[in-house]
Amino acid sequence: MVWLKFLACLVIILFAGTKLARYGDAIAEKTSLGGIWVGLLFLAAITSAPELVTGVSSVALVGLPDLGLGTLLGSCLFNLSILALLDILHRPAPILSRVSLRHMALAGLGILLITFVAGGIFVGEKLSGLALGWVGIPSIIILILYLVGMWRLFRFEHSHPLLPSPVSSLQYKEIPTRTVYFRFALAAVAVIGAGIWLSFVGDEIARTTGWDTSFVGSVFLAIGTSLPELVVAVAALRLGAIDMAVADILGANMLDVAYIFAIDLFYTQGSILSSVSSTHLITVAVVIAMNLLVIVGLRFRQKRKTFIVISWYALSLIGLYILGAYALFNSSVGLG
């Protein structure tokens, strides 16, 4: 029965997330935002909404900090593996060879943010008293770094705009603006409701199977809440908006890490990074390695795919994801 509930959550998030992405894209079009910035901030904020809601509800309503943090970090892991799927679907050439080099800055900022997560978990209880109220200093630093980084990226994009893409035609001009906002709000409510339900289902899965909540959050909930990123990225790729697809993935990852401040704010029992299992360091290490692969793929732009249908870095991303999930499962079994 618990798996039927989990499947129902996935279906709701997939359907509502698809609508949320579509009407979010329409809002972006009608507000004249474009290019990398739309994917980086606007679409990323839309598609990462389930991670935020699930993470907050996991700590505020269920009281499981490992489940909340695992959902956010596991989503980063899964999102980066989506780039491998995009590489397979983009047949003409390796996908990272066809996007702007500006994505290197996004991946680099992602590494910086998650490194602070590793530091907060690693020091653990030693610096548990280093907090403002109950919110840990590392969480505050992560939020500040994200905001400063996004501001600098915005300033750079504003002063160095890319040339308009030939595929960026108006697709939603026939839909009234009020209708777009109304349908966007309905989809948002559905995503939030499913996200809250998903946190309770994750708790039930952990209790039923005996698996550790770090593993459940980092794998099952992360995949479920990352479905909007998958849908939006594939849709953008089909439209030819490759930069937007990649920016959505990298932007959602940065938001997922920044959301740690939000779940720390709702977790009133102390600093969340001092309260979770060190198992999350596995996820952090793999996410850093995957981001480094993205940077290398962007820097050394190949004209052809290494293995006909897939690039070497895309295959490596898949391998790292499987390795990370396997390591988390083994850790879960050991703790169980």
Q: Any residues with CB less than 8 A from the CB of 4 and at least 6 apart, and which?
A: none
CATH architecture of 2-335: Up-down Bundle (1.20)
CA torsion sign, 218 to 223 to 227 to 233? positive
Q: Convert the pLDDT of each residue in 237-248 to its tens digit.
A: 887 778 888 998
Which of 32-41, 190-199, 237-246, 302-311 is modeled with the greatest confidence? 302-311
Stated length of the chain: 336
**So what's the pLDDT on residue 336?**
42
Q: Convert the pLDDT of each residue in 273-292 to its tens digit.
A: 988 888 899 999 999 999 99
pLDDT at 163 over 60: no
SS3 label, residue 136: strand
**So what's the pLDDT on residue 198?**
72
Q: Which residue has the higher pLDDT, 13 or 105?
A: 105
Q: How confident is the model at residue 10 (pLDDT cuts 50, 70, 90)?
A: confident
Asked if 210 and 336 touch (Cβ cutoff 8 Å), the reply is yes
Dig out the tokens for 259 from the structure. 């959301």
Asked if 259 and 48 touch (Cβ cutoff 8 Å), the reply is yes
What does pLDDT average to over the chain? 83
User: Residues 177-186: what's their mean pLDDT?
Assistant: 87
pLDDT at 166 over 50: no
Distances (CA, A) of 123 to 28, 129, 138: 41, 11, 10
Q: Convert the pLDDT of each residue in 43-96 to its tens digit.
A: 788 778 888 888 888 888 878 888 889 889 989 999 999 999 999 999 889 999
Please name the residue ranges forming H helices in 177-311: 177-209, 213-216, 222-225, 227-239, 242-258, 260-266, 280-299
pLDDT at 35 over 70: no
CA separation for the pair 230, 267 (Å, rounded): 29
**So what's the pLDDT on residue 169?**
56
Range of weakest confidence among 58-62, 249-253, 328-332? 328-332
**So what's the pLDDT on residue 128?**
59
CA separation for the pair 95, 90 (Å, rounded): 6
Share of the chain above pLDDT 70, in %: 85
Q: Convert the pLDDT of each residue in 143-159 to its tens digit.
A: 999 999 999 887 876 67
